[in-house]
């Protein structure tokens, strides 16, 4: 697949030189360029990748990959894009978007990006409260009982 476009570009240029390629309008030109240089199976492959795409790493990577793939599938309906996006999310993220009542792809993508900040600044990410026993000292028995109760001694 490494050298598919040089052959096509030479053939296309030759067709222009010989007068067998007549393009009068900009839309015709764009369509002809796409026909000559766009891989026939790009859309098919993008649909397969989109179907298999799952949010496994960062949400930003997922949104970026999803956006790239959706641009390669020009006729995919908004509802289908929204469904695929939501379906590929991790369960917690999908649940959060549903809880916020997201109904369209643009809102879902924007809120998904905000979830990164929510997680980063949320209570589960805060540094645990340190007590005197975290740096050593104190009685082992007393340390375990106060830590279990969540009590911090002065």
Question: What is the DSSP code string of 19-33?
Answer: T-----SHHHHHHHH
The widest CA-to-CA distance across the chain, in whole angstroms, is: 94
Please give the tally of structural domains in the chain. 1
Whether 12 maps to a domain, the answer reads no
Whether 87 maps to a domain, the answer reads yes
Whether 17 maps to a domain, the answer reads no
Whether 13 maps to a domain, the answer reads no
In which domain, by residue range, is 109 found?
A: 57-119
- Residue 104 makes CB contacts below 8 A (sequence gap 6+) with 78, 82
Whether 27 maps to a domain, the answer reads no
Whether 93 maps to a domain, the answer reads yes
Residue 148's pLDDT is: 41
Structural element, H or E, at residue 125: none
CB 119 within 8 A of CB 103: no
Q: What is the pTM of this model?
A: 0.55
Residue 142's pLDDT is: 46
Whether 43 maps to a domain, the answer reads no
Whether 84 maps to a domain, the answer reads yes
Dist. CA 90–CA 56, nearest whole Å: 7
Residue 22's pLDDT is: 65
């Amino acid at each position: 697949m490494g050298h598919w476009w040089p052959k096509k570009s030479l053939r296309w240029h030759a067709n222009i030189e010989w007068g067998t390629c007549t393009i009068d309008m900009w839309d015709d030109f764009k369509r002809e360029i796409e026909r000559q240089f766009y891989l026939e199976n790009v859309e098919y492959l993008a649909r397969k990748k989109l179907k298999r795409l799952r949010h496994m790493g960062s949400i930003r990577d997922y949104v970026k990959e999803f956006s790239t793939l959706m641009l390669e599938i020009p006729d995919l309906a908004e509802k289908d894009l929204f469904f695929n996006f939501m379906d590929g999310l991790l369960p917690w993220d999908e649940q959060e978007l549903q809880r916020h009542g997201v109904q369209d792809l643009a809102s879902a993508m924007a809120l998904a990006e905000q979830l990164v900040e929510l997680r980063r600044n949320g209570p589960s990410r805060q540094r645990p409260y340190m007590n005197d026993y975290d740096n050593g000292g104190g009685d082992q028995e007393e340390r375990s009982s106060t830590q279990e109760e969540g009590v911090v001694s002065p």
